[in-house]
A and B are shown apart, each in its own frame.
Chain A
Amino acid sequence: DSGVTQTPKHLITATGQRVTLRCSPRSGDLSVYWYQQSLDQGLQFLIQYYNGEERAKGNILERFSAQQFPDLHSELNLSSLELGDSALYFCASSLGGASHPETQYFGPGTRLLVL
Chain B
Amino acid sequence: AQSVAQPEDQVNVAEGNPLTVKCTYSVSGNPYLFWYVQYPNRGLQFLLKYITGDNLVKGSYGFEAEFNKSQTSFHLKKPSALVSDSALYFCAVRDQTGANNLFFGTGTRLTVIP
User: What residues on B are CB-neighbors of A104 within 8 Å?
Assistant: 46, 100, 102
Q: Is the interface of B mostly helix, strand, loop or mixed?
A: loop
How many angstroms from the CA of A7 to the CA of B95 in the assembled complex? 27
Residues on the B chain within 8 Å of A102, using CB: 100
- Select one of A33, A45, A100 contacting B103, CB under 8 A: A45
B103: chain A residues within 8 A (beta carbon): 45
CA distance A58 to B98 in the complex (A): 13
Chain B residues packing against A (C-beta within 8 Å): 32, 34, 36, 42-46, 49, 51, 90, 94-95, 97-107
Q: Let me know if B43 and A33 touch, CB within 8 A.
A: no
Residue of B nearest to A43 (CB): B104
Contact of B49 among A45, A92, A101, A107 (CB under 8 A): A101
Is B51 touching A106 in the complex (CB atoms < 8 A)?
Answer: no
Give the complex CA separation of A102 and B106 in angstroms.
21
Can you report 21 A-B residue pairs in the complex whose CB atoms are below 8 A from each other?
A4-B43, A42-B105, A43-B90, A43-B104, A43-B107, A45-B95, A45-B102, A45-B103, A48-B99, A56-B100, A58-B101, A90-B44, A92-B44, A101-B49, A101-B51, A101-B94, A101-B100, A103-B34, A105-B46, A106-B45, A106-B46
